[in-house]
Amino acid sequence: MFTETAEDITFERVTVKDSDGSIVSIEKIFEAFINAKKFKFLSNSTLPYFTKKTFNELLKIPHFSKLQTMTLNNIPDTFDIENFYVYMKENKTTKFYLEFDKSISDHFKNRLEEIIDEILSTKVFNYKPSFVYFHGLENGKKFHLFTLKYGKIV
């Protein structure tokens, strides 16, 4: 009943399980909220059901492209950052706030930093720049990304 009308969805420190006790994937959860404008999924630990296919599965959901904001934290390095980055550079609708788990590999951190540097060096955006954060990111870059995403200091 809630999923048909809810627009601002927040899951915080919860595990969503199916009737058989298995953990429900983020894409399956999101799929149920057909009128979602804001979707936030916050976890105290690494998102164990976030796989290499998760982002591509989200892209297949028709209402994903209408989303205004998506916030995820503790994202593992199984996240398909390359497909996300391609999508982000074409995305004119959704503001993403992505915080990666502390356990991500140095190789993955390096790739995230390259993407962050590309975002920060862009003068005119034809897309919605994302806030991308990982433990160890220089504070100046974090601050600059924050101001790009939110447009002001809050």
pLDDT single digits (tens) 71-104: 999 999 999 999 999 999 999 999 999 999 999 9
User: Is pTM beyond 0.85 here?
Assistant: yes
Say which CATH topology domain 2-150 has.
Answer: 3.80.10
What are the extents of the domains in the chain? 2-150
What are the tens digits of pLDDT across the range 95-115? 999 999 999 999 999 999 999
What are the tens digits of pLDDT across the range 50-75? 888 999 999 999 999 999 999 999 99
Give the pair of three-digit tokens for residue 11. Answer: 């899951």
CA distances in angstroms from 11 to 55, 70, 140, 147, listed in the order given: 18, 12, 29, 25
Query: What pLDDT does 107 receive?
Result: 97
Say how far apart CA 99 and CA 133 lie, in whole Å: 5
Residue 14 confidence class, pLDDT cut points 50, 70, 90: confident
